[in-house]
Every structure is written in C-alpha cells, then in structure tokens.
Amino acid sequence: AQKVTQAQTEISVVEKEDVTLDCVYETRDTTYYLFWYKQPPSGELVFLIRRNSFDEQNEISGRYSWNFQKSTSSFNFTITASQVVDSAVYFCALSEATGTASKLTFGTGTRLQVTL
Amino acid sequence: NAGVTQTPKFRVLKTGQSMTLLCAQDMNHEYMYWYRQDPGMGLRLIHYSVGEGTTAKGEVPDGYNVSRLKKQNFLLGLESAAPSQTSVYFCASSPNLAGRYEQYFGPGTRLTVT
C-alpha cells in the first residue's frame, strides 16, 4: 500500500526566511509519480510540480525548489526567501503508474504560516 | 474555459436527508474523482471514474454513490446524510492515467450535516 508522510504539521517563519517542507513516501512500485499541491486560505488546490520516479534531477522554479531522493524516499520542497503569500497548506501526493486508474495518495499536509 | 466546477459551494443538511453534488469539467478529461478533506487527514478518495458510464470505489466509499452518465459530469450522492459526512468535498479530473498527469481540482463544496 502507498503511504505519504508529512511529519511537519505546522511551520511558522518570518518573511524572507527559507523553509523546507518534508515529504517521505512508501511504495512497492518501481514506477510512480510524486506531486506537490498548494492550498491557500481560499481553499482551492493548486498544482505545483510533478516528478516521475526515473527523474531524480532537482527542480527549481523561481523561489521554489524540490529535492527528490529515491535512496531516502523523500521529495522535499524548499521555499527561498518566503513571502506572506506563501502562507498555505502544502500537500505532497504519490501516484502509482500501474493499473487502469492511478489514484493519488495524499499526505496530511503541512500548514505554512509566513509572518512579517 | 472554466476548468472544473462544483455545485453547490456550501450546503447544510439534516441527518437522514439526501443530496447530490455536481461536478463538471470542460477539458474533455477521461478520468474524474471525488475526494473528501477532513482536518488533519489530507484528501481521501471516495470514488472515481475512468470514463463515461464507469465508476469505481476509492478509499472511503461507504455512504456515497456516484454516476457518470456524461463524460463531462460526475455526480456524488449522499442517500442518507450522517454527521460523519461533514467535510469539504473536492472533485478532480485528469486527461488519462493520473500518474502521468496532474489532477485538476474544483473549488470544493463545504457540507455540514447536523
């Protein structure tokens, strides 16, 4: 069975600090996909990134970066120079790539609070 | 292009009442999903559909039924609402295997059962 663990329930930082959100996953599949979604206070879910299990390259998009390490089954998310607008709940999710429908297994989320 | 829409946005039900949540997508996606989000538990899959006329159970299907009569619509029904079904419900769609594509989510429906 798949499992995603986000051990950090809530993180508070001051604006301009860097912050890393941890994600650890479990799967028996050799091919799988990992995702990060953002849920701002307005409630919608915003897709941030998808990574497949064959691509261990780190990804950088502006102030956001992701570190995927298969050896430790981790897919961590770093926000550099955080801003108040980054305040949200962030979800890590895992999808298997086999079967007729791949379903997302979500972690329980990390609430990030960025203050001035 | 509205993406994924959900109707209604909010609803209050009394225990035992029934209701249907409507999800519509205009992206011609094959796959559609219903999730519920509860505090501290992330999103959990209720039911999903891999195409018009097909449905399948997810992680927490009890107390819910679904139908996919048209490709663009996915309905979630509660036949006899219970307080345990108080939650935020999200619909999502994806072009094909969700593993290869991200899921696009609707804005959510906040349901309270008293």
| Tens digit of each residue's pLDDT (9 = 90 or more) over A3-16 | 999 999 999 999 99
Question: Is pLDDT above 60 for B98?
Answer: no
Residue A104 and residue B103: Cβ atoms within 8 Å?
yes
Task: Give chain B's radius of gyration (CA, Å).
Answer: 13
* C-alpha–C-alpha distance, residues A10 and A109, integer Å: 9
Question: Is pLDDT above 80 for A70?
Answer: yes
Task: Please tell me the predicted confidence (pLDDT) of residue A61.
Answer: 86
- Give per-residue pLDDT as tens, B9-24: 999 999 999 999 999 9
Band (pLDDT 50/70/90 cuts) for residue B99 is low
Nearest CB neighbour to B98, from listed A31, A95, A107: A95
Closest by CA to A113, choosing from A93, A78, A84, is A84
Instruction: List b or e across B38-69, with b for residues whose CB sees 16 or more CB atoms inside 10 angstroms.
Output: eeeebbbbbbbbbeeeebeebebbeebebebe
Chain B contact present for A30, CB below 8 A: no
Chain A residue closest in CA terms to B38:
A108
Chain B contact present for A104, CB below 8 A: yes
Residue A107 and residue B42: Cβ atoms within 8 Å?
yes
- Give per-residue pLDDT as tens, B57-85: 998 999 999 999 999 999 999 999 999 99
* Residue-by-residue DSSP string for B31-78: EEEEEEE-TTS-EEEEEEESSTT--EE-SS-TT-EEE-SSTTEEEEEE
Task: Please tell me the predicted confidence (pLDDT) of residue B42.
Answer: 87
Task: Please tell me the predicted confidence (pLDDT) of residue B97.
Answer: 61
> How close B12 gets to chain A, by Cα (Å)?
18
How many alpha carbons lie under 13 Å from residue B10 in its C-beta half-sphere?
1
Chain A residue closest in CA terms to B5:
A44
* C-alpha–C-alpha distance, residues B20 and B109, integer Å: 11
Count CB neighbours of A43 within 10 A.
15
Name every chain A residue with its beta carbon within 8 A of the beta carbon of B42: 4, 91, 106-109
Could you tell me what percent of chain B has a pLDDT over 70? 96
pLDDT (mean) for B14-36: 95
Nearest CB neighbour to A101, from listed B56, B88, B90: B56
Name every chain A residue with its beta carbon within 8 A of the beta carbon of B58: 103
CB A24 within 8 Å of CB A110:
no
